Structure 1
Amino acid sequence: MELAAQATLPFTDYAHLLTQYDPERRSLWYYLAPKPRPAFTPGLLADILDFQHRVADSLKSPLHNPHSVDYLVLASATPRVFNLGGDLDLFGRLILSNDRAGLMNYANACVEAVYRNASNLGCPSLTTITLVQGTALGGGFEAAISSNVVIAERGAQFGFPEILFNLFPGMGAVSLLSRRIGMVRAERFLKSGKQHTAEELYEAGVIDVLANEGEGIHAVNNFIRQHRRSRNGLLAIRDAKARVQPLTREELSSVVEIWVDAALRLTAHDLKVMRRLVAAQLRLDAGSERTAAAEDMGGESVIAFPAHTAAGLAY
């Protein structure tokens, strides 16, 4: 790791994240590695929020080299799965106990992470990127499109299944998707409950870069290489777009209120369907073997990435 980045990015050992810094491209990668399944568990959310806080503090520090991190890349350490969405098992327990405060706390943690990523951690020079290799459902789909740039491999699957159990994705989907493709088209996605391929979403304008299967990290690196050539102008365009279509934390919070109210109105039949989706999450996870491991060397986090991510940083 580059000395400046090592000094100003005080990593900790996360239980549900893997991190890696690429000094050549000034990109900082963080890989989702949640347990016990690839969903947004409270543990994963806590790790993401802590990571975002540390990176933002580092980038805003007067001692920080402003050129040490230009790109923040979100990906997954679980082969064939990006993220399967909200912690449906937790949702069911909170709904059955009529725990409004618990649902609000969980949902607000989700939208805080989404908002920070969508707003570049409050750092104008930072560009956020998501790489999807596999399935992104519900909250996983929301997390993916919260980045400035979405890159996905051919064959990756996306969807909002919430309508299948009489709910809707309330942690950013309406705000983020409508800003990408317009409210009418976004609403069709939200109502359908269907899964869509990366190819379909690229044609629809949801995905910015479509990569061949197995070449996602190469596509991220190529994007960074091209972006840096016109970085000043592209960042200015992004800032102008944010002025025209601002995304506020208040907007996300107001939608969360609607989501919590709707969740507490779910019936026993709705919760039964939700439990079936939990079982489906577990089956998908059982088919994915996480092989990533971290090794501590002199205080620096060195990651041995899974096979599906291994080729990229040296490309």
Structure 2
Amino acid sequence: MDWEEETGTLWTFMRPHNRPSYNPEFLKDFEAWQIGIQSMFAGQEDELRYLVLGSRWPGVYSLGGDLDLFARHIRDRDREALVEYGRTCVRILHRNIETLDLPVVTIALAQGDALGGGFESLLSFNVVIAERGIKFGFPESLFGLFPGMGAYSLLARRIGAAKAEEMILSGNSFTAEEMHDLGIVHILAEPGEGVEATRAYIQKQRWRRNGSRAVYMTGRQVDPLPLEELERIVEIWADACLLLSDRDLRLMERLVAAQDRLRSVPLAAE
């Protein structure tokens, strides 16, 4: 973490282990990140004005769910484990949507691809800043699934149910520019200039932050997303997992192998 007192900005960057996906170990780190920030600013909540989350993995924001874990639980017919994984994810997502119960504007800084659950998590931030050319999408439909940990709920509230379904079911990837046209990405940055674009946004908001924060709070009141809704969808997702065919699982495992090849890529320097 890097605390910038002058602007009240806490800069944080994910440093995933092995592959850049949300495995159980990384989910524990994510929960600790949230709880740690709440503790850090307890009693001085107004000091934190902006919370930025990026990634140190070159070319990747996050590839989302732990497909290797999913395949193992599906082959074992372990619905309970699938549901527990999903519930852990949506609890983290919901806490993020509620800005950790702090009076802060949250910013997702995407300097690399955000796919599946990585895209879902990015949607839980107030502001999304993305570098041109990076990819967003939900590949789950390619192996008979859907992103079951917030994507539909968040996208439908932003762009409507029909467009959300089209995006989820297509399995296509979309550029940052396309996401900007839809209003999902709020600010486009040139490649390699995401941090500078974030600093520029924060500086520009210097006299507008109070109004911006209030607007985001109002949005959560006008169109709330209850945790119960997310948890019910996790149940639907888990049931869908158990209906996957052998072919679907083999494709899922091939995607895991492709992700594993990213392990040889060194993490970016601090």
TM-score computed with the length of structure 1 as normaliser: 0.83
Among 176, 181, 186, the residue aligned to 1:208: 186
Question: What is residue 95 of structure 2 aligned with on the other side?
Answer: 116
Counterparts of 2:168 and 2:90 in 1: how far apart (Å)? 17
**1:128 is aligned with what amino acid?**
T
- Per-residue Cα deviation, 1:245-276 (whole angstroms, up to 9, x for no partner): 11111111111111111111111111011011
Partner of 2:266: 289
Per-residue deviation, 1:21: 1.7
Q: Which residue of 1 aligns with 2:119?
A: 141
- State the match for 1:56 in structure 2: 38
Residue aligned with 2:11, SS: strand
Aligned to 1:84: 63
Match among 192, 210, 225 for residue 203 of structure 2 = 225
Aligned mates of 1:198, 1:211 — CA distance in 2? 9
- Residue 26 of structure 1 aligns to which amino acid in structure 2? G
SS across alignment from 1:228: coil
Gapped runs of 5+ residues in structure 1? 1-18, 293-304, 306-315
Identical aligned pairs, as a percentage? 46
For the pair 1:67 / 2:49, whether they are aligned, the reply is no
Question: Which position in structure 1 is the counterpart of 2:11?
Answer: 29
The answer for the alignment partner of 1:13 in structure 2 is none
Structure 2 equivalent of residue 312 of structure 1:
none
Residue in structure 2 matched with residue 309 of structure 1 by the alignment: none
Report SS of the residue matched to 2:46: coil
2:237 to 241, 255, 259: 259
Instruction: Choose which of 100, 115, 126 in structure 1 pairs with 2:79.
Output: 100
- C-alpha deviation, 1:73, in angstroms: 0.9
| Structure 2: distance between partners of 1:54 and 1:179 | 29
Find the residue that maps to 1:147 and give its secondary structure: coil
- 2:144 alignment partner, one of 149, 166, 180: 166
Supply the RMSD in Å over aligned alpha carbons: 1.3
1:285/1:184 CA distance change after superposition, 3 Å: farther
Answer yes or no: is 1:186 the counterpart of 2:186: no
The one-letter code of the counterpart of 2:89 is: C
- Cα deviation 1:101-123 (Å, max 9, x = unaligned): 21111111111111111110112
- Contact between 1:151 and 1:207, CA under 8 Å: does it hold in 2? yes
Say which of 211, 229, 254 aligns to 1:276. Answer: 254
Q: Which amino acid letter does the alignment assign opposite residue 290 of structure 1?
A: L
Mapped to 1, the partners of 2:139 and 2:164 lie a distance apart of 14
Distance 1:20 1:281 in 2: 29
Question: How far apart are the structure 2 equivalents of 1:103 and 1:150?
Answer: 29
Structure 2 unpaired stretches of 5+: none
**Post-superposition offset of 1:285:** 4.3
How far, CA to CA, are the matches of 2:205 and 2:236 in structure 1?
A: 38
| SS at 1:30 equivalent | strand
Structure 1, residues 25-76: CA drift from partner, whole Å, max 9, x if none? 21112211111111111111001101101212333x3xx3333211111100
Q: Counterpart amino acid of 2:76?
A: S
Deviations 1:277-302 (A, max 9, x none): 1112123443x32143xxxxxxxxxx
Task: Letter of the 1:46 partner, please give it.
Answer: K
Q: Tell me, in whole angstroms, the C-alpha distance in 2 between the residues paired with 1:24 and 1:81.
A: 29
Larger relative contact order (Cα-Cα within 8 Å, sequence gap ≥ 6): 2
Give 2:220's aligned residue. Answer: 242
3-state DSSP of counterpart to 1:146:
coil
SS of equivalent to 1:121: helix
* 1:34/1:43 contact within 8 Å kept: no
- How far apart, CA to CA, are the structure 2 residues paired with 1:199 and 1:284? 25
Amino acid corresponding to residue 227 of structure 2 in structure 1:
R
SS in 2 for 1:39: coil
Q: Which 4+ runs in 1 deviate beyond 3 A?
A: none
Partners of 1:291 and 1:239 in 2: CA distance: 34
